[in-house]
Structure 1
Amino acid sequence: MIGIVMFFTALFMLIIGFPVAFTFAAVSVFFGILAGFIEVFSNADQSDAIISLIQSGWSEGISMFDYMPFRIFAIQQSTILMAIPMFIFMGIILQKTGLAEKLLESMGFLFGEIRGGVAISTVLVGTLLAASTGVVGASVVAMGVISLPVMLKYKYKTELAAGTICASGTLGQIIPPSIVLIILGDVFQVPVGDLFKAALTPGLALVGAYIIFILIVSYLNKNLAPAIPADPSRGTKKKQVLRALVDIIPSLTLIILVLGSIFEGVATPTESAAVGCLGAVLLALIYKTFSISMVKEASLEAVKITSMVFGILIGATAFSMVFSYTGGDEIVEHIMLSLPGDGKWTFVIFTMIAILFLGFFIDFIEISYIIIPILLPVAETLGINPIWFAILIAMNLQTSFLTPPFGFSLFYLKGCAPAGVTTAQIYRGVIPFILIQIIVLAIVAFFPEIFGMTSDM
């Protein structure tokens, strides 16, 4: 039971606010040494000296970490994980080019004359930013600074405006290239390119569901998202369409270069990430925002984020190793396989509910590296398709950015929202979009063939 106690200890420490990587590492060392002492003292007899037992227990516990250097070297040599810093760098460069501003301005005027038009344009721009940058914080802040004041100016209900921006900003978690999918590819040991392909249609289905929801509520309540009057200074409708296309083409080209090279088998995700970095720099040159200082800032920021991810990964590796050595994985597997009902579907439903609940309190990285490795052996035993299971988890993890009280998107938007927007309004605004995500998740779970997947190996 040491592994189970260790798990809940780490979870409690995360909930009360301890740093993630240090929590995993400290808890692993403490319980690893404790397991060594328990092992030695449980096998001791009365003739053994207490000092000798303490020395043996210490040695037994410390020896559990003998293979940690090899695990760390394996992490450093992973070609899959090499894509993470490059995609982060690409996203930060694009954030600094003003791409989001141009897209939102053009598409806002293009769709503004229909009810909910600015909200719809925000969803579409969020989709383009997700497919070209994948950085949630940058997308939410950019749209919060630009789109939210416009919606509030034209009397959009604050809850709908805030919920639309938060939900659109998190699309980068499921629409490739996605850091979540790269991490899950490493955890599941499946090709990241296959995950990217499988995630594309569920991601677009989610986009479609958001737009349908906005259209329906805008139609039912005419004061919820009024239409914006035509602006003659923007020129004719034809000129507005051409201007929107001009703003969309650069980001669309980058998406085709990055995702197209993966889907066609021309490049691996890591190689396409390098192509994306080059494309981002070229876009910065096109938009005349390129400078050495910008590249330096983007590089430093990418290093900070990447260091955080890899620090968590090393701590999580130690955690999972101690958890396995103390038999925690066997207990979890026994419990999961003993659940009532159809073993496979009971396991999937229980897993989705557990991840959704944990997403209220901890981040997707911790869930990916701590919770999922514990569940993988059970999924393999039940014959669950790893690609399908990974997509379900990715869609579920996306909700962790929206769920109160600790959803990061909520904090990002609150930090850049006008003074009149309250935290309670943001919380209420995301609830319909969380429900939409759960509905789409259920459709992918029970009808995977619609999205070209299967639930079985």
Structure 2
Amino acid sequence: MIDWLMTHPDVWMFVVTIALMLLGFPVAFTLAGVALAFAFMAGELGLFRIATLNFLPQRVWAVLNNTVIVAAPLFIFMGLLLERSKVAEQMLTAMARLFGQRPGGLLIATTVVGALMAASTGIVGATVVTMGVLALPVMLRNGYDASAASGAICAAGTLGQIIPPSIVLVFLGDFLTFANQQANLSSGNPSGRSVGVADLFAGCLIPGFILVGLYLLWQLLLAWRNPAAAPALPLEEIRLGDDGGVVEAETTAQLIVRALAAPLLLIVAVLGSILAGVATPTEAAGVGAVGALFLAAWRENEVSRPFVKASLASAIIVLFLLSMFDMRMGRQLASTGELIAMWIAVVLMGVVSAGILVSLWVTFRSGSLMDVTFRTARITGMIFTVLIGATLFTLVFRGLGGEHTIHEFMSGIPAGLLGAMIFTMALMFILGFFLDFLEIIFILVPVLCPVLIVMGADPVWLGVMIALNLQTSFLTPPFGFALFYLRGVAPPSVTTMQIWRGATPYIGLQIVTLMLLAVFPATATWLPSLLLQ
């Protein structure tokens, strides 16, 4: 065993990296620093070719020019702008009015809003903080159990990691694409099946809905077994947000329509275009960013509303013209009708551009545009710094023979693919207690997934299993981010232990969903095969 470890610097490199990250060292610099240290040490021992590092600039350039990853900052921008527009506050008010008069109603409202926010923003922190500020005080004031209320808010916030569009799925899908290509090359089938982010988006929809359903069933069961822990509220007690949550001039139905119309339209535009094959995830992310900009301008200044209406109407007409005419530019032969349609489309796109400029000006004057832009830049910069460090780590790890070591180890696990999957899921679950989801993706997916795919795992099913597993990392103490977000805004009367205890049942429900997906892989693979093939 000692001799084996001495001849496998790749294993020591992995162990040292995990240990340093657990000690709190910055992730990006840990990945890059450990990789360089082991590269030079192994090079001196003749176990690594230093010339391999010459491939790093090419790989970094490929990362920065990856058109799929461009979707990430666009989705981040969309989510932050919707957060700034108080979309969640309005939806939570509407859902509280709808469900709050029933036992457990505010728990159900929180979960429904979490699912809707997941499909429109996909940002865990924004959802948890917003609902923690708005819903948690109302629940506590009206006798809800602190653990039940805290657990529902934390769990609802994590839905943004499994329900597309999700930043997790963008990066996981991109890494899975590379892993699938490596597996195809290893198996001698370079033209084998391709997998992309759109496949992962489609694959996560049904498991995401199943998870939401399990959350709701648990909350109904909790309210049925112990009504005092989640009592029904009279309508006049349901007061959320600055307007008190009760708008006397509006019925519940009117409030729901006003709160849900714009977010649902945005969800359909983004997800619908991806699943229908009309747009790539990157193009759909651009549509989502513009849609969020229109929504923010609409809510901030009435002057912008005519421009937003005209822009949306023009975009719909352009889509109609595209479905009726061949409007490709630069063709030698085009009918009179097609030329007329092209010129109409040019004019209409000018209207859309004017609407975008007005919306930019309105949001710039209010300060929201600059705030969201700087926050997007900071988050994106952090992610790409980690990604570059992970690229160097993977390059050195492969150069040290890590891929071969992993393949040998996984092949030696009893029960073949089943045993390898159990090991992989257990490893990711345990690391989720201590590491961020991006760190797990950047380190483990390039290393483990090609081997699992060669062993027979469906890449889409594998990606959805990993996404569900990573979702638990937001709820598992001591470093679950959703727990920290809620702790930061919860009243002092709510203890950290109550938050942890409330989140525990939802971790169990996530594991149940993971087991259902393992037993019924078609849950993840059926929709992508139907829509995207």
Partner of 2:328: none
- 1:209-229 CA-to-partner distances (Å, cap 9, x unmatched) read 000000001100111100001
- 1:133-171 CA-to-partner distances (Å, cap 9, x unmatched) read 011111110011001111111111000111100000010
Q: 1:106 aligns with which of 71, 84, 94?
A: 94
Distance of 1:236 and 1:98 partners within structure 2: 20
Q: Does 1:303 align with 2:310?
A: no
Q: 1:242 aligns with which of 249, 254, 270?
A: 254
Q: Does 1:186 align with 2:177?
A: no
- 1:211-264 CA-to-partner distances (Å, cap 9, x unmatched) read 000000110011110000133995899921221122111100100010011111
Partner of 1:55: none
User: AA paired with 2:472?
Assistant: T
Q: 1:326 aligns with which of 393, 400, 403?
A: 400
Partner of 2:421: 348
How far does residue 421 in structure 1 lie from its aligned partner after superposition? 1.1
Q: 2:54 aligns with which of 66, 84, 107?
A: 66
User: AA paired with 1:211?
Assistant: L
Change (3 A) 1:35 1:415: same
User: AA paired with 1:409?
Assistant: A
How far does residue 285 in structure 1 lie from its aligned partner after superposition? 1.7
Q: Does 1:24 align with 2:36?
A: no
Structure 1 unmatched runs, 5+: 41-59
User: AA paired with 1:22?
Assistant: F
User: AA paired with 2:39?
Assistant: G
Q: How does 1:13-412 map to 2 (within 5 A)?
A: 13-39=20-46, 62-189=50-177, 190-231=195-236, 234=246, 239-288=251-300, 290-292=362-364, 293-341=367-415, 343-412=416-485
Residues 203, 528 of structure 2: 8 Å contact kept: no
Q: TM-score, normalised by structure 1?
A: 0.92
Q: Does 1:435 align with 2:508?
A: yes
Structure 2 unmatched runs, 5+: 1-7, 178-194, 239-245, 302-361
Change (3 A) 1:188 1:127: same
Change (3 A) 1:236 1:448: farther
Change (3 A) 1:6 1:449: same
Partner of 2:329: none
| SS at structure 1 position matched to 2:150 | helix
Change (3 A) 1:450 1:277: closer
Residues 150, 503 of structure 2: 8 Å contact kept: yes
Change (3 A) 1:77 1:210: same
The runs of at least 4 consecutive aligned structure 1 residues that moved more than 6 Å come to 235-238
Residues 461, 525 of structure 2: 8 Å contact kept: no
User: AA paired with 2:231?
Assistant: P
Change (3 A) 1:404 1:204: same
Distance of 1:284 and 1:21 partners within structure 2: 34
User: AA paired with 1:320?
Assistant: T
User: AA paired with 2:363?
Assistant: S
- 1:170-194 CA-to-partner distances (Å, cap 9, x unmatched) read 1010000011111111111121111
Distance of 1:455 and 1:268 partners within structure 2: 14
- 1:311-355 CA-to-partner distances (Å, cap 9, x unmatched) read 1111011111111111122111101111112x0111111111111
Instruction: Provide the identity percentage.
Output: 45
Distance of 1:418 and 1:245 partners within structure 2: 32
Partner of 1:52: none
Change (3 A) 1:304 1:235: closer
User: AA paired with 2:509?
Assistant: I
User: AA paired with 1:158?
Assistant: A
Residues 274, 284 of structure 2: 8 Å contact kept: yes
Partner of 1:45: none
How far does residue 450 in structure 1 lie from its aligned partner after superposition? 4.1
| SS at structure 1 position matched to 2:479 | coil
User: AA paired with 2:40?
Assistant: I
Distance of 2:247 and 2:504 partners within structure 1: 38
Distance of 2:124 and 2:67 partners within structure 1: 23
Distance of 1:110 and 1:223 partners within structure 2: 20
Distance of 2:161 and 2:258 partners within structure 1: 26
How far does residue 452 in structure 1 lie from its aligned partner after superposition? 4.6
Q: TM-score, normalised by structure 2?
A: 0.79
User: AA paired with 1:206?
Assistant: L
Residues 388, 453 of structure 1: 8 Å contact kept: no
| SS at structure 2 position matched to 1:226 | coil
